Structure 1
């Protein structure tokens, strides 16, 4: 079963490893920093298209968010 909380944690961890701020991510995704924060914190749904864009910005394979 897919645990979206784990995916959100992985997104945050990859972002921190890259040294990217939430402001940088939001700028690259053309959304507000508040909206990006809500994505990471689970306050809004994470759409597949947004997940793919996030993976692109982080320069990671999207499948890595679904595997250990």
Structure 2
């Protein structure tokens, strides 16, 4: 299944604690993290699975 994209690394707890990063330090990265979507992909996906991802993405974009 699709899901929101990864939280930018500077907002991960380790990096915030170790280096003091916070939201606003890298606004472009944060914006991309906020609006990006991770689609399923794998070299072992069947053609049917790839087609399903494509069709669902098309339907979502058309809505």
TM-score, structure 1 as length reference: 0.26
1 or 2, which has the higher helix percentage?
1
TM-score, structure 2 as length reference: 0.27
1 or 2, which has the higher strand percentage?
2
Larger Rg: 2
